[in-house]
Structure 1
Amino acid sequence: DTECYCYPGFTFIDENTKSLGCSQNFTIDECVARKDLVIHYNITTLDNIDWAGDPYSVKQNLEKEDCKKSCQEDCSCGGVLYSNRKCCSMYMLPLKYGKRHGNITTTAFIKLILGSTISHPPETSQILISEGNQSLILTMGLSLGSVASLCFVIAIGSFLLYKHRVQNYEKLLENKSSGLTEQFTLRSFTFDELDEATNGFQDELGKGSFGTVYKGILRDGKSKTIAIKRLAKVNEGETDQIRTEMTVIGRTNHRNLVRLLGFCVEGSRKLLVYEYLGNGSLAYFLFNMNKRPVWKERARIALDVAKGILYLHEECEGCIIHCNLKPHNILLDDSLTAKISDFGLAKLLRTNQTCSTPRTKGTAWYSAPEWQSSGLVSVKVDVYSFGVILLEIICCRSNIEVQVCSAD
């Protein structure tokens, strides 16, 4: 006859009616128990046993002890079946009816709950601070103090820098008629900065009808060489020329145009700051050098000038007419890349627009006849000037010699 038994840790619900099944003799929901509740349990082994039901987890290639440990560490596990194929099948409670037979090779591990205890945290008064903890607290305190001091110094420095820049901005706003602050984001220099950069405006690079150009070095840690154009004969209300150059160059960006870096407007003192180009003007390169430049260099320079003019006429937001193109206003960098400069007479036009201007004309022998006679300005003005420059590049001589005798 078959005898019925309960699994270890379980008892019959009714001893007289064993078919009703078994129940745990100690009840606790291990997975939702209080955090201060410590559960004590043991694992009982039953050999040659198998039971019905589906496992909630199956783990392969586990040794017997690892299978037992898996159930021990899983609060949902009530028992596991371990086969010789190293297969560990984990079951939740309640466990189904099982049977034992000598031919069954499966081993069962059943979790037995022995009881529980409540753990009490130590009283605050019983917590002792060791010497190591004291050192840690001291170190953290010093570190936090250092960080706070550093933040204070940075805050003071930022405030002083902000105050200095506000003062510079207020100086710029004093000249309200210039209208520069609304149009540009170029760097605003003080006159003292540029005076220091040029060592009192001593190193003169060239002079034109609108002012003198000086060489300088910025003392901002980078020692960057710059060219500073100091406008002459500019009173408080005469700001059209500086506004023209900044309006034109400030909205352009091309490798064949001289780059404007910043400006200075302090009362009657008005200056423009450009990038410095070490090889001087095209006029010096063509006319004042003992050795005639090779054709390859001259062809590349002519192409650079043409690209710059094309950008001004067709690729900018509005058509820009330079109105004063000549070799003296074309500069060369260290790699002999030609860049157009001096936009003091430039005009901003819409596409295909022609305008009349009463303003001072450009250099006579480079200016288009219609501009000299009628004052009409169009892209033809620059095209004519470029044609004259192109002839000079080809011949390596000026189109007019102003210092020859009358017989010549």
Structure 2
Amino acid sequence: MASIPVLLLLLVFLLSEYANAQRNHTNKISLGSSLSPKANRTSWLSPSGHFAFGFYPHGDGFAIGVWLINQTEKIVTWTAYLDYPPVYPNATLQLTRDGLQLRIGAANVSTYIADAPPGETASAATLDSGNFVLYNDSDVIWQTFDYPTDTILGGQNLSTGNELVSSVSKSDQSSGQFYLYMQYDGNLAAYPVKSSGLPYDIFWSSGTNNSGTDVMLTLSRSGVLSLRGDSLGGRILASSHYSDKKNGSIIYRATLDADGIFRLYSHHFESNNSSSMLVEWSSLANQCEVSGFCGWSSYCSGVGANNGPCKCYPGFDFVNSSNKFLGCYKNFNDNSCRRSEHPAMLYRIVPLENILWGDYPYSSVQMKKNDCGMSCLEDCNCGAVLYMSGACNKYKLPLRYSRASKNISAMAFFKVILKNITTPPIPLPPEIFGPKIERKRGLILILAITLGSISCLCFMFAIYTLFRYRHQVYRYRNLSENANLGLIEEFTLRSFSYNELEQATDGFKEELGKGTFGVVYKGTIPGGNKTIAVKRLERFVEEGHREFRTEITAIARTHHRNLVRLLGFCMEGSRKLLVYEYMSNGSLADLLFKAKMRPIWKERVRIARDVARGILYLHDECEVHVIHCNIKPQNILIDETWTAKISDFGLAKLLLPNQSKTAVEAERTAGYFYLAPEWKMNALISVKADIYSFGIVLLEIVCCRSSITVNVPTTDKIILSSWVYDCFMAGELEKLVEDENMDFMTLERMVKVGLWCIQEDPVLRPLMKNVILMLEGTMDVPVPPSPVGSLLDS
């Protein structure tokens, strides 16, 4: 009988605990509740006490986010305003009917963190899953799980088109160097942030390419990390080795860490309030497998997961010795290479074994290992060579994505100036690097023997030379008349006859487009399956083959991944044709203005950077600097890998002297709004004219509409640049991009860069190298002035 009261007390206790648990589980944050770094309440806890939402210390102030509470450290799982500066201690976060309102400072400046429907918020809650949610009367209207930063938690998904961005470090949740993208082809892939986003930039992937557009990354509450989709089914990446604890709980999170490795963690919370953390799975075992883990011109030489030191190439020093991840710079200049008659005398070759990097060579030739290192000495473009599988691959500097490992069989040779040599060079033949006196003696001896031999042989060849002379002269004249000899000596282009190109294009049947310089036709190279684009030039000088050959030679010397490549030519009398690589996805104008499915935001950002890099190469990096004079979406073509390439560069000089004005007049009709104001005033044309045209194109890429559109609801939207500037000044940039999953910071940066580029005064327009730095976020973009008059003057 004595046991009955004990049982009753136990029953009462259990009912009390159950009631408390129910209240805690449904304990919602009511309207009017607030948080502040200097108030008694700085965060809202989840019922279990494992998660908190609110203010946490960050830098010189505070950030707002969700974090997992451990005994040893605070692990942030979500951050609001990821790349914004910290807020001050006098900030206040309040739950209102319109959402979660952040008030900053005495001026009471306010903004809303949660993008909830206005007037519908009734309550909020921090859930035990780590999800912070806003409710209306009964449903969730906003949640942090929909906007992941670097982490997904148990019960959270990463849907197609979304990404995780690594943090700078454990203590700094700003955007870091890497991102994990759930691609539209079903592949989960990790990239460096500062990359083109093309397949060769991927350093880890799930290998689920072509699995459909419905694939998403999921993490279950039991610790199963998997990819799921209708076409794919289920692909498990990792799973926990632990089952649910009876005397505690386990929380799982998958995080793209600051070092670029995607990891699955488990956090074990015991009933005695102790906790521990375990790494359940890592996407990569070695940090050196992460592309971009070490900066430019440095390589990663680590062999373990936590050992990844960065080292400089021979002839390079660290940019910052206290932060070796920033990369290295060349500690000598080689400006004298091109001025020297014997550039090989200035350098030595330093070998480095078991190393590999991720760039593409500009030359690859089969040769012996020692010859490979020596071949770089005479080439002023060569900074390093990589010998692998019998091939000698030449590279320009700087290099990226480099790593060293005993499992790599490649051998690298670096060209280092003699006075800076610090490591033993590879032995090279003494006839190249021996003393000058010994070399001269050898040359004199060789010259004497050679002259003697020639004197004896001259009589033997005299008669033969006489008979061959007329034949050679006749052949040379024929080649000169066809303008082929000079071209063959100057660059390796294929010379086509007019009949060949007429047959290749089926009588110039399929027209691809028409521009300032002529009509473009689709064709196929005779005897092969290679598709080409043939441009039949118009309005060019009929005579003056030498001038035409000079300009085509200059065009052929330009090689860049963002320029359309010239493959060949035809020049028979007045008929002049150029043969280009075929761009299967048409022009940027077709994608932006005509296509049913416009490019997504991330693709448009990449296209804008591609175009900028192509213009930078034309202005500053190629041997013969080129002003394009005709930058517009119709002259920006897209290849099969969706890389943007610029066409029609270098052709402006080929117009008749009295036709440059005519060409401009034609552009006034077809592309008036891409022309810089100096064209209209007949002023001196510089590279700043291309900057102006790029600015107009950049705004078109952002807004997915033409620079002038009549079919708009209000007249203030007719001229794109004027409308963009009005929206920028009014703080309404979201009007420019509708129904887009875009990054507002990137949108604001691109708009400001575009407005700087279209300034009426050329002096105010930035150089293209600064444009690229601003687009990539490396350089700050100041607030641009109004481009007054630059668009409305006739």
TM-score normalized by the length of structure 2:
0.27
Give 1:395's aligned residue.
703
- Report SS of the residue matched to 1:219: coil
Q: CA deviation at 1:233?
A: 4.5
Give 1:380's aligned residue.
688
Answer yes or no: is the 8 Å Cα contact 1:226–1:273 preserved in 2: yes
- Please tell me the residue identity of whatever aligns with 2:520: V
Answer yes or no: is the 8 Å Cα contact 1:358–1:375 preserved in 2: no
Describe how 1:6-155 pairs up with structure 2 within 5 A: none
In the superposition, relative to structure 1, how do residues 371 and 233 fare at CA in structure 2: closer, same or farther (>3 Å)?
closer
- CA distance in structure 1 between the partners assigned to 2:539 and 2:627 by the alignment: 24
1:207 aligns with 2:514: yes
- CA distance in structure 2 between the partners assigned to 1:178 and 1:387 by the alignment: 41
- Please tell me the residue identity of whatever aligns with 1:371: W
- Please tell me the residue identity of whatever aligns with 1:204: E
- Report SS of the residue matched to 2:560: coil
Describe how 1:255-270 pairs up with structure 2 within 5 A: 255-270=561-576
In the superposition, relative to structure 1, how do residues 247 and 378 fare at CA in structure 2: closer, same or farther (>3 Å)?
farther
- Report SS of the residue matched to 1:376: coil
Describe how 1:306-321 pairs up with structure 2 within 5 A: 306-321=612-627
1:293 aligns with 2:596: no
Q: CA deviation at 1:210?
A: 2.0
- CA distance in structure 2 between the partners assigned to 1:233 and 1:369 by the alignment: 25
Determine which of 571, 582, 590 is the counterpart of 1:276.
582
Determine which of 517, 525, 537 is the counterpart of 1:218.
525
The runs of 5 or more residues in structure 2 that have no matched partner are 1-470, 655-659, 719-794
Q: CA deviation at 1:235?
A: 5.7
Q: CA deviation at 1:177?
A: 12
Answer yes or no: is the 8 Å Cα contact 1:242–1:344 preserved in 2: no
- Please tell me the residue identity of whatever aligns with 2:517: F
Q: CA deviation at 1:170?
A: 6.1
Determine which of 166, 183, 192 is the counterpart of 2:499.
192
Answer yes or no: is the 8 Å Cα contact 1:248–1:320 preserved in 2: no
Answer yes or no: is the 8 Å Cα contact 1:324–1:345 preserved in 2: no
The alignment's C-alpha RMSD in Å is 3.5
In the superposition, relative to structure 1, how do residues 329 and 374 fare at CA in structure 2: closer, same or farther (>3 Å)?
same
Give 2:558's aligned residue.
252
- Please tell me the residue identity of whatever aligns with 2:694: F
Give 1:54's aligned residue.
none
The runs of 5 or more residues in structure 1 that have no matched partner are 1-162, 349-356
- CA distance in structure 2 between the partners assigned to 1:332 and 1:264 by the alignment: 25
TM-score normalized by the length of structure 1:
0.51
- CA distance in structure 2 between the partners assigned to 1:333 and 1:285 by the alignment: 12
Q: CA deviation at 1:240?
A: 9.1
Report the identity percentage.
Answer: 61
Answer yes or no: is the 8 Å Cα contact 2:479–2:485 preserved in 1: no
- Please tell me the residue identity of whatever aligns with 2:500: E
In the superposition, relative to structure 1, how do residues 227 and 172 fare at CA in structure 2: closer, same or farther (>3 Å)?
farther
Give 2:674's aligned residue.
366
Answer yes or no: is the 8 Å Cα contact 1:178–1:243 preserved in 2: no
- CA distance in structure 2 between the partners assigned to 1:390 and 1:246 by the alignment: 29
Q: CA deviation at 1:230?
A: 0.7
Give 2:641's aligned residue.
335
In the superposition, relative to structure 1, how do residues 173 and 300 fare at CA in structure 2: closer, same or farther (>3 Å)?
same
- CA distance in structure 1 between the partners assigned to 2:526 and 2:623 by the alignment: 35
Which range is displaced more, 327-336 or 287-296?
Answer: 287-296
- Report SS of the residue matched to 2:626: strand
Give 1:324's aligned residue.
630
Q: CA deviation at 1:315?
A: 1.0
- Please tell me the residue identity of whatever aligns with 1:323: C
- Report SS of the residue matched to 1:387: helix
Give 1:302's aligned residue.
608
Q: CA deviation at 1:285?
A: 0.7
In the superposition, relative to structure 1, how do residues 250 and 402 fare at CA in structure 2: closer, same or farther (>3 Å)?
farther
1:174 aligns with 2:499: no
Answer yes or no: is the 8 Å Cα contact 1:283–1:328 preserved in 2: yes
Q: CA deviation at 1:345?
A: 4.4
Q: CA deviation at 1:238?
A: 6.5
- Please tell me the residue identity of whatever aligns with 2:575: R
Give 1:227's aligned residue.
533
- CA distance in structure 2 between the partners assigned to 1:284 and 1:274 by the alignment: 19
Answer yes or no: is the 8 Å Cα contact 2:483–2:571 preserved in 1: no
Answer yes or no: is the 8 Å Cα contact 1:216–1:225 preserved in 2: yes
- CA distance in structure 1 between the partners assigned to 2:541 and 2:586 by the alignment: 30
Answer yes or no: is the 8 Å Cα contact 1:175–1:265 preserved in 2: yes
Answer yes or no: is the 8 Å Cα contact 1:245–1:346 preserved in 2: no
